[in-house]
Amino acid sequence: AGPILGRVFAGAVRAGRRARVETAIGRAAVSIPSVAVEVVLRALGPLEGRTVVVLGAGETSALAVRAFLARGAAPPVVINRTLEHAEVLAARFGARALPLDRLASCPEDADVIVASTGAPHPLLSADAVRRVLPGRAGRPLAIVDMGIPRDVDPAVRDLAGVCYFDLDDL
């Protein structure tokens, strides 16, 4: 690299090492699911005993399950279009698996819904959430939509008692 460029590289490595040691740069959330957990914590408070429903069974959903469990949430319910895929993910974490047709009833019991699928359109409508809100007795519901395109109708943001976050919020 030559003497000048060699000193520049060495200085950059020293600066990076110093930044990691002297600042909190390496302690922050490093994935979208871990950021989702932090956002939900701010919205709902502690996750101990909270019911989490995970919509999707891919790698992002697995990271979300791991992140929520690490912060004290109860083993989640995993819902997927293909029940077998939901069962595989659920088995990894001691969770329950449900088929997609059970999604509409989940917001009544859930404290958190995390969605990350490859669906071409929203799977959870604002009307479905609106229908179950009276049965929630005023308990807040956090919905995190990590899907591209969106898995949850963004109109849920306007429903009383619902804290909705999408990728833009995260």
pLDDT in tens, 41-96: 999 999 998 999 999 999 999 999 999 999 999 999 999 999 999 999 999 999 99
Rounded to an integer, the average pLDDT of 3-28 is 83
Alpha carbon distances (Å) from 14 to 5, 7, 28, 145: 14, 10, 21, 39
Rounded to an integer, the average pLDDT of 140-144 is 96
Return d(Cα 128, Cα 103) in angstroms, integer.
9
Phi, psi of 50 (to 5 degrees): -75, 145
| Cα 103–Cα 109–Cα 114 angle in degrees, nearest 5 | 55
pLDDT given at position 2? 87
What percentage of the chain has pLDDT greater than the value 90? 74
Tokens representing 125 are 């409508």
Alpha carbon distances (Å) from 2 to 8, 11, 42, 111: 10, 14, 50, 59
